[in-house]
Amino acid sequence: MKNFEQKIFPYLLLLPTIAIFGVFLFFPALNGLWISFTKWDGINPQEFVGLKNYIKLAGDKDFLTSFFSTMFYTCLSVPAIFISALMLALILTRRIKGSNFFRAVFYWPTMISSIIVGLTWRFLLGEDFGVINYLLTVMGNSPVKWLTNPKAAMAVVIFVTAWSMAGYYMVMFIAGIKAISETYYEAADIDGAGFWQQFRYITLPLLKPTSLLVLVLSTVTVIKAYPLIYALTQGGPAGTTKFMVQMIQETGFEKNQMGYACAMTTVLFIILAVLTFVQFRLNRGGEQDAN
Amino acid sequence: MQTKKRKKTGWSILLGVLLFFLTFLFLMPIIWVIGSSFKSTGELFSWPPSLFGKSPSWNNYIKALEEGDFTGYFLNTVFVSIVATILTVIVNVMSGYAFAKYRFKGQTVLFGIVLATLMVPLEVIMIPIFKVIVATNLYNSLWGLIIPAVASPTAVFLVKQYYAGIPDAYMEAARIDGASETNIFLKIMLPLAKPIISVLCIFSFMWRWNDYLWPKLVINSKTKYTMQLALANFSGEYSVDWNSLLAMSVISMIPVIIVFVSLQKYIIGGMTAGGVKG
């Protein structure tokens, strides 16, 4: 028999969490959807305009450029993160001295704020004074306009993203690899399978659940990239690295087109919602495997 | 056998070289920033560069602390990070405990709500949250950085999972002895949660310390800047004052370095604990 206190206590415990989620998350989420159907500058009353914002979106060159460059950036960053994280994990799961030290070294960039990561690389890649261009000139090359040449800037942004996030997913891969039973590798050794064959036929297939999770989680993170990019390139040169979150932020708060910015948000939300749903499914799959 | 052995030494040399290169790649940028923060303006932009410059000095730090409002940004960040961490622990331990240790009406729905919050990151509600922040009088207030992000689905999951591993017998025994639910929570179950509370503290503190988007949305006046907001805004100015910027970056990294070096085992170990086997 539960007494009254036992019945009411869990609700009291949950009250702050639910209240905060309600006021600062669900209400704004629904409100945002409503704002996307209105014209609103943030000060004057909202004016209902139906689907006008969405129609405008489909023909807005700036938005489409930002959308496609976000996709381009995501499609290259995610494999870059994936491959570097997996590579680091494979190195560290071999029996090497000081693997804890190296693990800390590779994980370290994920602890620093995105702003500082961006500033650090902007400092290293400075055109006239950066140490990287200095090294290039010493080796007889001409300095590269790392952050003012559109193609170079995109490459830099992708590289720095992978540099700052590889360590995080490396830890997930290490856990996944260590969970694979040694006996598979022992059997493969007896059969004379080399490193590459063992990787191809044992590690990679058995790592599939981890790999899928890494892919989804890194995509969700990368697609929202903003502080890192802002500190590194400010979205430049000429908007080449202005991705969706920065676009929404500027449209809403600098151009004061709140309704239009909310319509852009809906596009981002749909992409993220699909990915998060996939992530749930993967997690559930993992649990069933474990049981 | 002979060739196999030689092949193995070849591999380990290659591995050693690779590890050296990777360590350089991951550590050097930050070390270079730290070194450069001791250089004078002239030396910052002169070639050939050296790690600490010819005459390293604390001038950049002294300048940052004396002239700018940097001390204020530092104190703002400390205040926000500490208060937010305390509240985050309280709020999420409460709800995680409720989900793990009680059966109540609407439990599935409420847990579904917590799960659903994962689909709505701040980036997706930037515009409407601004309206809420203004309406709740939190705009341009440090409390506006603290309160809205106190509840975290990740923290709720962590606590829930942790408490699921603690037997209900503790609670039942206390109930038979006539303890109230509040006392069971505060005097028995809360002390048992120390390990997970430490993990929450580390992550919550680091997250707040490094956060940029919330301050960007909520804070308007310079006196209320956090360090990340100040760094980002100053780096966006037309002529970037790298001397101050580097010194500020290094100062803002110090707590992170301390936490990471001393608690590294918890931070990385926490993620891998499940699969470690020697």
A38-39 and A47-48 beta bridge pairing = antiparallel
CB-based contact (8 Å) between B268 and chain A? yes
Flag whether A257 is in a domain: no
Task: Give the domain CATH number at A142.
Answer: 1.10.3720.10
pLDDT-derived band of residue A284, with 50, 70 and 90 as boundaries? low
CB-based contact (8 Å) between B186 and chain A? no
Looking at the complex, report in whole angstroms how far the Cα of residue B74 sits from the nearest Cα belonging to chain A. Answer: 15
Residues of chain A contacting residue B131, judged by C-beta atoms under 8 Å apart: 28, 31
Flag whether A267 is in a domain: no
Flag whether A40 is in a domain: no
For B34-92, write each residue's pLDDT tens digit.
Answer: 999 998 887 777 777 778 777 788 888 888 888 668 889 999 999 999 999 999 999 99
C-alpha to C-alpha distances, B251 to A56, A125, B145, B255, nearest whole angstrom:
46, 22, 21, 8
**B10 contacts: CB under 8 Å, gap ≥ 6:** none
Residue B258 has pLDDT above 80, yes or no: yes
The pLDDT, as a whole number, for residue A64 is 95
Percent of chain B at pLDDT > 70 equals 92
Give how many domains chain A has, as a whole number: 1
Flag whether A52 is in a domain: no
CA-to-CA distance for B264 and A275, rounded, in angstroms? 31
Q: Do B94 and A17 touch (CB under 8 A)?
A: yes
CA-to-CA distance for B150 and B204, rounded, in angstroms? 9
Domains of chain B are: 29-67+237-278 (no CATH), 82-229 (1.10.3720.10)
> Closest partner residue to B277 among A120, A178, A248, by Cβ?
A178
Q: What is the mean pLDDT of chain B?
A: 87
Residue B106 has pLDDT above 80, yes or no: yes
For A22-71, write each residue's pLDDT tens digit.
Answer: 999 999 999 999 999 999 988 888 889 989 999 999 999 999 999 999 99
Residues of chain A contacting residue B121, judged by C-beta atoms under 8 Å apart: 224, 272
Q: Do B268 and A103 touch (CB under 8 A)?
A: yes
Note if the bond before A109 is cis, omega within 30 degrees.
no
CB-based contact (8 Å) between B44 and chain A? yes
CA-to-CA distance for A18 and A216, rounded, in angstroms? 27
- Going through B100-139 in order, the beta strands assigned E by DSSP cover none
Residues of chain B contacting residue A45, judged by C-beta atoms under 8 Å apart: none
The pLDDT, as a whole number, for residue A131 is 86
Flag whether A288 is in a domain: no
Q: Comparing B50 with B99, which gets the higher pLDDT?
A: B99
Kindly report the three-state secondary structure assignment for every residue of B7-36. Answer: HHHHHHHHHHHHHHHHHHHHHHHHHHHHHH
Q: Tell me the average pLDDT across A95-104.
A: 85
For A136-186, write each residue's pLDDT tens digit.
Answer: 888 888 888 889 899 999 999 999 999 999 999 999 999 899 989 889 988
> Closest partner residue to B181 among A5, A28, A175, by Cβ?
A5
Report which secondary-structure segment, H or E, holds B277. Answer: none
The pLDDT, as a whole number, for residue A289 is 41
CA–chain centroid gap for A60, Å, is 25
CB-based contact (8 Å) between A29 and chain B? yes
Flag whether A203 is in a domain: yes
CA-to-CA distance for B74 and B261, rounded, in angstroms? 21
> Closest partner residue to A105 among B23, B180, B271, by Cβ?
B23
Structure letter (DSSP) for residue A51: T
CA-to-CA distance for B203 and B226, rounded, in angstroms? 18
- Give this complex's ipTM: 0.88
Q: Tell me the average pLDDT across A199-215.
A: 91
Residue B271 has pLDDT above 80, yes or no: no
Q: Do B127 and A252 touch (CB under 8 A)?
A: yes
CA-to-CA distance for B53 and B37, rounded, in angstroms? 9
For chain A, how far is it from start to end, CA to CA, in angstroms?
32
DSSP symbols for A217-279: HHHHHHHT--HHHHHHHTT-STTTT--HHHHHHHHHHTS--HHHHHHHHHHHHHHHHHHHHHH
The pLDDT, as a whole number, for residue B124 is 93
Domain that holds residue A227: 71-93+106-242
Helices B242-272 and A150-178 pack at an angle, to 10 degrees, of 30
Q: Do A104 and B148 touch (CB under 8 A)?
A: no
Flag whether A236 is in a domain: yes
